[in-house]
Amino acid sequence: MFRRILGLLISLMLALLPALGLAQTTFTMAGFDGEGSTRDWATNGFFTRMEARTGLNFTFQQYNAGDKWQTAKNAMFADGAEMPDVLFKAALTTDELIRYTDSGKLIDLLPLLEENAPNLWALLQANPDWLKAITLPSGKVGALPAIQELAPQNAMWINRTWLEELKLEMPTDMESLRKVLTAFRDRDPNKNGKNDEIPMLFLGPWELKFFSHAWGVAANDYNIYLDDAGKVQYWPQDERFFDMIETLRGLYADGLLDPDGFVTADALRRVTDAEAAVTYGAFFAPSAVTLLTYTSGAENYTVMGPFEYEGKKIYRDLIGNITRGTFAITSACEDPAALLRWVDVLYAEEGAIAALAGDQDVNYYFREDGSWDWVGGAEALGMTGLTQLTIYDTGDMPWLFPLSFNNRYYEEDVGRMNEELAKLTACAVQPFPTYTLTNEENAYVGQLQHELGRYVDETLARMVLGETSISEETRAEFLAGLEERGVNDMITFWQKIADR
């Protein structure tokens, strides 16, 4: 009898081993660290700190090239392929999220969030639009987001040092902008004795259309927006669209817009020499340091606020607070709850700060004035040290960016630039409500956009360049061309999405 009882007890203990501390702690992780990244996840301090905090560790399939990551995603989701447990910095498209949640290869995270990701769940409950943004048409949540309380914008930056040097006021409309840009062109504001100033940079038709705010319009990349009555409007059909083009054409003809704006790329515009003469008067960018060195950008540039139109100021909200598709768990994972508890650390301020800056008094410290700095200073840390310490600065990772902590960095220009961008928050508007398209809808509207979008951009470019006249006849031809390419179908499609 005793042996029988002992045997039953041993069997019971074996059954309970996972609950007694032998639960899975090692998982396979695949992801995209960002184009050209040089860091190694296997030795990076972020994952070391996360293991110490959560007890979980990973074997990695890391990619540093977008095309290779896309090939890897296609292969791992092929029928019969071996999948990793989790995708981190996943860069999953909406199409992929729908396809792989429908097939069951990505699990629906929504039922698991309240219990296993309380930090994220609290954020989503407090901000229902964020939950809506990551929810697929099926009602499932296939991936978790990156959240930025200060939404990234394609802001207008202007050289405030030049404004001060030339004793100019900040532009408040297109007419005063013209006067400022003319002074930038003619009065040698960088004081190098050369006519090398570029008054206003832009990157193709896409950025020129951000000037639409001066005519009271904020349209999205499909050139549509929802008016106050809930009706879809196609911006290029509006008479104000032609007014904008005429104004931009005048600026271009007078040498106030970058002559290479229609043929250049960001890589060609970027200045990496801190000692180089500053030649940019104004430009569109998420940050002043996107195109310039930290010293040149942070010290010389400020955000140019939107221009008023009929008593209102609006500006296009570029992407909102949410970046979708950053963290997903596959059906190969045997313990999704553990991975959700792991990632939920990053949606709390303490965990997000550790992800950005490491451990207090080890990697960073607080100064007497309440600001913080790297232990040993930024120069001692260097780019190599930063690459080994964190992973936040390339690719999109799942977390709530610790904005208030970031703003307290001892270099005041960091917080100042964020304060500049915050000026747009009050007037930033979403052209269209948050939406997610099915695969069929995406294919349908993609075909319409291929014809319409290209036609709009080519016409805008040719008119600004002066290759095509702006007359009643050419306007009528353009509007007829929109109809031939399906503009009414485009409007009908988006109206159904808006009503839905």
Q: Average pLDDT in the 236-243 region?
A: 97
pLDDT of residue 20: 41
Res. 104: pLDDT tops 50: yes
DSSP states along 36-90: T----GGG-HHHHHHHHHHS-EEEEEEE-SHHHHHHHHHHHTSTTPPPPSEEES-
Q: pLDDT per residue over 155-203, tens digit each?
A: 999 999 999 999 999 999 999 999 999 999 999 999 999 999 999 999 9
Q: Average pLDDT in the 78-87 region?
A: 95
Q: Which of 158, 156, 164, 157 is nearest to 189 (CA)?
A: 164
Residues contacting residue 55 through CB under 8 Å, at least 6 positions apart:
25
CA–CA separation, 485 and 452 (whole Å): 6
Residues contacting residue 231 through CB under 8 Å, at least 6 positions apart:
495
pLDDT of residue 18: 43
pLDDT of residue 22: 54
pLDDT of residue 8: 42
Q: Average pLDDT in the 16-44 region?
A: 80
Q: pLDDT per residue over 475-495, tens digit each?
A: 999 999 999 999 999 999 999
Q: Average pLDDT in the 270-299 region?
A: 90
Confidence band for 294, pLDDT divided at 50, 70 and 90: confident
pLDDT of residue 170: 97
Res. 14: pLDDT tops 70: no
Q: Which of 320, 297, 346, 354 is nearest to 132 (CA)?
A: 320
pLDDT of residue 7: 45
Q: pLDDT per residue over 412-458, tens digit each?
A: 888 888 888 888 988 999 999 888 888 889 899 999 999 999 999 99
* β-strands 144-147, 399-400 pairing: parallel
Choice between 412 and 390, residue whose per-residue pLDDT is larger: 390
CA–CA separation, 462 and 466 (whole Å): 6
Res. 11: pLDDT tops 60: no
pLDDT of residue 414: 82
Angle at 336 between CA 330 and CA 337, to 5 degrees: 160
Q: Average pLDDT in the 348-359 region?
A: 96
Res. 470: pLDDT tops 80: yes
Give the Å distances, CA to CA, from 124 to 118, 129, 323: 10, 8, 14
Q: pLDDT per residue over 123-158, tens digit each?
A: 999 999 999 999 998 999 999 999 998 888 999 999
